[in-house]
């Protein structure tokens, strides 16, 4: 069956359908990762987005039960140059096609993803529609133009859990994760660092979080426009100075706003496993996984209180910061992911040491 990807600026890409049939809308972005398509599909930060993979062959190792990063896939659509009909891996349980069908995700193959990627780099990420039901190009372009987009949308409420739950019950330190669309590996890394982990919805108040008597708070990643989340910013602001905080991706953006900074939309975002990030203190460069379309504006932060710790070497945007007096730090990239493979894993150890120092100081 044929499928069409239509962009709001009038560009149209025809291909072959795989996965579910139907029509889906979202902002189209490209991801430069060579592997990890299962983790990408299940990253809640991709809610509201159609993902195009720059690597030309996708699906060759199938889908397994271990590499999911959330309860289900959240991408709106999936675009590849070539979908591998054969899945060969000892952990594989089903094909990518079967997995997309099972979860209602529309896929399209046969697209010139090099051309699409270059177009997005030049024109920017934009609204799009992917369809197997409508073959009228003008109709699809009009639908893409009329779709919601990401700016001003609160997509966190569509991915956050309905109620709190325990990830694991044992650990020397009690960590609360404010789940704005958290990837499972964040909780895995905390548990590996001897932390008891409790996950709460993004709508949890500061009072509710403090009632759990946490040694630390993790502000997670998540989808959409950070400027559309004043309730999370307010909660974050209320917790500053009351508990050690570590923010990742959207959590970093929540802290930036809580400190008085502002966010802006990047032209085509950072999506992939090869983003170079420089630690300004050590001079070391980490190869990081990133997935974000918005960024904290460095110039809007109060440098008397906030120290810039990491910078993106591709475009010099903010990748990390810390409070100069309080036990709070954050990064825009994903230290729980493993592109380096362990370039940024040390940040979880840093969070643990920060919580220990704070606990001893209060004793």
The reply to whether 181 and 118 lie within a common domain is: no
The reply to whether 71 and 181 lie within a common domain is: no
For residue 350, what is the enclosing H or E element? helix 346-362
The reply to whether 280 and 185 lie within a common domain is: yes
The reply to whether 220 and 113 lie within a common domain is: no
Buried b (16+ CB within 10 A) or exposed e, 149-187: bbeebebbeebbbeebeebeeebebbbbbbbbbbbbbbb
* Residue 151 located in a structural domain: no
**Domain limits at 62?**
2-146
Nearest to 260 by CA among 292, 225, 223, 301: 301
What whole-number distance in Å separates Cα of residue 71 and Cα of residue 179?
13
- Write down the mean pLDDT value for the chain: 96
What CATH number is given to the structural domain containing 221? 3.40.50.880
The reply to whether 141 and 161 lie within a common domain is: no
What whole-number distance in Å separates Cα of residue 103 and Cα of residue 71?
11
- What is the per-residue pLDDT across 235-257, written as a single tens digit (0 to 9) for each? 999 999 999 999 999 999 999 99
Structure confidence at residue 91 (pLDDT): 97
Over residues 27-52, mean pLDDT: 97
- What is the per-residue pLDDT across 266-276, written as a single tens digit (0 to 9) for each? 999 999 999 99
What CATH number is given to the structural domain containing 125? 3.50.30.20
Over residues 227-237, mean pLDDT: 98
Structure confidence at residue 342 (pLDDT): 81
Nearest to 273 by CA among 104, 32, 88: 32
The reply to whether 90 and 209 lie within a common domain is: no
363 has pLDDT over 70: no
State how beta strands 23-31 and 126-131 pair: antiparallel
Structure confidence at residue 343 (pLDDT): 83
The reply to whether 193 and 67 lie within a common domain is: no
Structure confidence at residue 27 (pLDDT): 98
**Final residue belonging to a domain, choices 107, 128, 146:** 146
The radius of gyration computed from the CA coordinates of the chain, to the nearest angstrom, equals: 20
The reply to whether 258 and 167 lie within a common domain is: yes
**Final residue belonging to a domain, choices 123, 146, 169:** 146
Name the one residue in this structure whose structure tokens are 């009909």: 85
361 has pLDDT over 80: no
Over residues 6-32, mean pLDDT: 98
State how beta strands 328-331 and 318-323 pair: antiparallel
Phi, psi (deg, nearest 5) at residue 111 = -85, 140
Over residues 150-159, mean pLDDT: 96
Q: Look at residue 311 and give its three-state secondary structure.
A: strand
The reply to whether 9 and 85 lie within a common domain is: yes
Backbone region of residue 161 per phi and psi (left: phi > 0; alpha: psi in -120 to 50; beta: other values): beta
Structure confidence at residue 339 (pLDDT): 76
- What is the per-residue pLDDT across 129-142, written as a single tens digit (0 to 9) for each? 999 999 999 999 99
Q: What does each C-alpha distance from 7 to 72, 73, 79, 302, 323 come to in angstroms?
A: 26, 22, 13, 39, 41
The reply to whether 81 and 162 lie within a common domain is: no
pLDDT confidence tier of residue 341, bands split at 50, 70 and 90:
confident
Q: Look at residue 235 and give its three-state secondary structure.
A: helix
The reply to whether 85 and 185 lie within a common domain is: no
pLDDT confidence tier of residue 338, bands split at 50, 70 and 90:
confident
* Residue 185 located in a structural domain: yes
265 has pLDDT over 70: yes
Over residues 161-170, mean pLDDT: 97
For residue 119, what is the enclosing H or E element? helix 113-123
Over residues 90-112, mean pLDDT: 98
SS3 content of the chain, % helix, strand, coil (to 5): 25, 35, 40
The reply to whether 307 and 174 lie within a common domain is: yes
The residues carrying an active-site annotation are 249, 334, 336
Residue that wins the pLDDT comparison between 340 and 189? 189
Q: Which two tokens stand for residue 65?
A: 């039960």
- What is the per-residue pLDDT across 53-72, written as a single tens digit (0 to 9) for each? 999 999 999 999 999 999 99
Over pLDDT 70: what percentage of the chain?
Answer: 99
Across-strand partners of 128? 7, 26
């Amino acid at each position: 069956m044929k499928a069409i990807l239509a962009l709001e600026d009038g560009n149209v890409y025809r291909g072959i359908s795989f996965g579910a049939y139907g029509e889906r809308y979202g902002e189209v972005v490209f991801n430069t990762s060579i592997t990890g398509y299962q983790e990408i599909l299940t990253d809640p930060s991709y809610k509201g987005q159609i993902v195009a993979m720059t690597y030309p062959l996708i699906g060759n190792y199938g889908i397994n039960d271990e590499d999911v990063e959330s309860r289900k896939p959240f991408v709106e659509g999936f675009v590849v140059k070539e979908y591998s009909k054969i899945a060969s891996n000892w952990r594989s349980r089903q094909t990518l096609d079967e997995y997309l069908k099972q979860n209602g995700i529309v896929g399209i193959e046969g697209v010139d993803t090099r051309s699409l990627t270059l177009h997005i780099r030049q024109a920017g990420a934009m609204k799009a529609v992917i369809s197997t039901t409508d073959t009228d190009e003008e109709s699809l372009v009009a639908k893409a133009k009329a779709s919601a987009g990401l700016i001003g949308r609160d997509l966190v409420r569509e991915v956050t859990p309905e109620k709190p739950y325990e990830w694991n019950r044992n650990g020397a330190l009690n960590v609360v994760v404010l789940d704005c669309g958290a990837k499972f590996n964040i909780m895995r890394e905390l548990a590996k660092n001897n932390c008891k982990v409790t996950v709460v919805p993004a709508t949890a108040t500061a009072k509710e979080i403090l009632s759990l008597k946490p040694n630390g708070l993790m502000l997670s990643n998540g989808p959409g426009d950070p400027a559309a989340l004043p309730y999370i910013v307010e909660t974050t602001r209320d917790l500053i100075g009351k508990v050690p905080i570590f923010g990742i991706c959207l959590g970093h953006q929540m802290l930036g706003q809580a400190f008085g900074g502002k966010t802006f939309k990047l032209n085509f975002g950072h999506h992939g496993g090869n983003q170079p990030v420089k630690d300004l203190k050590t001079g070391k460069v980490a190869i990081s996984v990133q997935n974000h379309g918005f960024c904290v504006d460095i110039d809007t932060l109060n440098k008397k209180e906030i120290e810039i710790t990491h910078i993106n070497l591709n475009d010099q945007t903010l990748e990390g910061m810390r409070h100069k007096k309080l036990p709070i730090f954050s990064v825009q990239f994903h230290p729980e992911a493993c592109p380096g493979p362990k370039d940024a894993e040390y940040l979880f150890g840093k969070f643990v040491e920060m919580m220990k120092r704070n606990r001893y100081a209060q004793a």
